[in-house]
Structure 1
Amino acid sequence: MSIQENGESDTLRPLWVEEPAVRPRLPDPVRTAAVRAVLIVSLTTIQAMVAFLSTVTGSWLAFPMVVSSVASTVVATWSVLDVWVTRQVWNQRNGVVSVPSSTARRLRRERRQARRTVRQEVRDAERIRRRGRPNRLSPQP
């Protein structure tokens, strides 16, 4: 260890420091759709640039590239919409972020409680029906 001119020592420092994320990570299906959309949009941009440059130079490749660029633009738009739809579906299926005042959690709790109540009533009715019947081996006319 040596002391440098400015007074700092040559101690080993980590290359980076882990910091907690400000926003939570995207759910897997949404992240997959987003990566797919970024790849498709970037390829569409490259294709549009090649179409433009081949048009400027008067290449025979200009017309097929322009036609395929139009088709790629439609696909890219669809992929970006897919990210939005996938996120909406994920939020709808899995509820909102869990916080104590969450409406989705309260509704799920109420539905669960209602199902338990119905099941308990059915069980009680079945128990009462079985208890009220005398033990007969054969039915009476």
Structure 2
Amino acid sequence: MDTAERRGAPGTGAAEPTAARRGPQAPDRDTTAGVEQRDATSYRPLWVEEPARRRRLPDPVRTAAVRAVLIIAVTLIQAVIAVLCTFADSWLAFPMVLSSVASTVVATWGALDVWVTRQMWNQRYGVVSAPSSTARSLRRERRAARRRARVAERAQARIRRRGGAGQLSHP
């Protein structure tokens, strides 16, 4: 079997022929009336879609990565031109070397931008941490203590309102 006829089963390295999955062969759409249809076993799809192995990068991180790759590519081109101009004793060699140094600084910034953007994304939208059972029980105890304190404070306020100055405790 050719590579185009194989498809890995999800989670395993095993391959199975695509003809076994397809079932009965549909006639080709691009055939005309007078032309014989191809044999069903000779049909092979151009590609077989497989699930992605890794998740897609978030949009801001991907944008920063594309920007960094473009900047680094321009920097490398400038460096090559600077070297070639130096070999040719051209007047353009010195300005190209200076621009290559500046582009190297910008390319470093671009790579750091990808890293910082990725860290920022992970902090804002990354893993949602679930509190451990210990933290949850401590929080529950603090809430109960605050609730008891509020109830006691309300009871004290009620006693103060009833037992104001000049009033008897029993009417």
Q: Same fold (TM over 0.5)?
A: yes
Give runs of aligned pairs for residues 1-141 of structure 1, distance below 5 A: 1=27, 2-4=36-38, 7-8=39-40, 16-96=47-127, 104-107=129-132, 114-115=138-139, 117-132=141-156, 133-134=158-159, 136=161, 140=165
Larger radius of gyration: 2
Q: Is 1:3–1:9's contact at 8 Å kept on the other side of the alignment? A: no
Distance across 2 between alignment mates of 1:3 and 1:30:
49
Alpha-carbon shift at residue 9 of structure 1 (Å): 7.9
**Cα RMSD (Å):** 3.4
- Write the deviation string for residues 1-32 of structure 1: whole angstroms up to 9, x where unpaired: 5323xx23898x6x654432111112233222
Alpha-carbon shift at residue 136 of structure 1 (Å): 2.1
Q: Could you say what secondary structure the match of 1:134 adopts?
A: helix
Q: Could you say what secondary structure the match of 1:105 adopts?
A: coil
Query: In the superposition, relative to structure 1, how do residues 139 and 48 fare at CA in structure 2: closer, same or farther (>3 Å)?
Result: farther
TM-score, reference length from structure 2: 0.57
Identical aligned pairs, as a percentage? 56
TM-score, reference length from structure 1: 0.66
Q: Report which of the two has the higher share of helix.
A: 1
Q: Is 1:30–1:87's contact at 8 Å kept on the other side of the alignment? A: yes
Q: Could you say what secondary structure the match of 2:81 adopts?
A: helix
Runs ≥4 in structure 1, deviation > 6 angstroms?
none
Could you tell me which runs of 5 or more consecutive residues in structure 2 were left unpaired when the two chains were aligned: 1-26, 28-35, 167-171
The number of aligned residues is 131
